[in-house]
Amino acid sequence: MFIDVHCHLDFFENEKIEDILNRARKEKIGIIVCNGVKPEANRKVLGLAARYSEVRASLGLYPTDALKMTDKEIDAELDFIKENGKSIIAIGEVGLDFKETGDRERQVKIFEKVIKLALKLDKPLIVHSRKAEKEAIEVLEKAEAKKVVMHCFSGNFKLIQRIVENGWKMTIPTNVKSSEHFQQVIARVPLECLLCETDSPFLHPDKKEDNEPANVIESYKKIAEIKNLGLSEVERIIEENFKGLF
C-alpha cells in the first residue's frame, strides 16, 4: 500500500473529506497520517481518525500557532495529547519556524517540551524546520530523540547527512515533480531513510490548489524514476520504513 505520512485533512470542509478519501482509496493509499497544528485542529484530527479506518492521528502544535498561546495553554494542550496517547501514532506537526517570527528562544523552549513528551510516550516526532533547519536538528540531538521524521526538510546536504547518520527519516513531498532540491534528496539519500507525503492541501505536484492524499503516488513515482527501481519495490520499502518507525 501507499502511505501519506503528513497531511492536513482537517483543513478541508467536512463535506469534501469523503470524496478526498474515496480518491485516495482508488490509488491504494492505505494509510493517511493527519497532523494537527493547534488545539481545535487536534480535536478534529482525532475525530477523523476515529471515523475513517485509513486515517491515523498525529497531534501537535505548529510553532507559530504555539507562540500565540500562553504557557498555561500550551501545558494544557500537551496534557491533552498525553491523555490521548493511545489514539495517536505520532506527535506533529511540531518544530521551529524562524521565517515568520523573531521569538526564537520561546520557540525552542516549547519544542523542547514537546520532544520531552514524545520521548515519554515513545512516539515519533513529525518536525517542521523552516529557516531553522540547523537549530531543529541541534535541539533534537541534544534531547537524544531517535524517532524523528523531518517534514519537507530544505536544509543543505551537510545537515541532511546528519539526519541520515542519526537514523531519522525524511519525507519526499509531492512537489518533488518540480523541486530540484527534493530530486537531489532522492538521489543522495538511502531509500531506507525516506517516507512520502503530500502536506495536503499544500504542495500540489502540478502547482494547483488543494493537494490531497491521492497525489502521494507522485512522490513514489519520482523515487522509482530517480532510484531506477520498480514502483512496487519502492512501495514495499517505504511501507517497511513506515512500519519500522510507527
Give the CB-side neighbour count of residue 212, counting CA atoms within 13 A.
17
Q: Cell digits for 102?
A: 523573531
Q: d(Cα 176, Cα 186) in Å, to the nearest integer?
A: 9
Helix ranges (DSSP H) in the chain: 14-26, 39-51, 63-66, 71-83, 104-121, 133-142, 157-165, 180-188, 217-227, 231-245
What digits encode the pLDDT tens for the residues 10-50?
999 989 999 999 999 999 999 999 999 999 999 999 999 99
Beta pairing class for 169-173 and 194-197: parallel
What digits encode the pLDDT tens for the residues 55-96?
999 999 999 999 999 999 999 999 999 999 999 999 999 999
Q: d(Cα 172, Cα 174) in Å, to the nearest integer?
A: 7
Burial class (CB in 10 A: 0-12, 13-18, 19+), 11: middle
Q: What is the pLDDT of residue 84?
A: 98
Length of the chain: 246
- Using only the alpha carbons of the chain, give its radius of gyration: 17
Selected from 3.20.20.140, 3.40.50.720, 1.10.287.70, 3.40.50.10420, the CATH number assigned to the domain covering 2-245 reads: 3.20.20.140
Q: Which amino acid is at 138?
A: E
Lateral strand order in the sheet of 29-35: 2-7, 29-35, 55-59, 90-97, 125-130, 148-150, 169-173, 194-197
112 pLDDT band, cuts 50/70/90, is very high
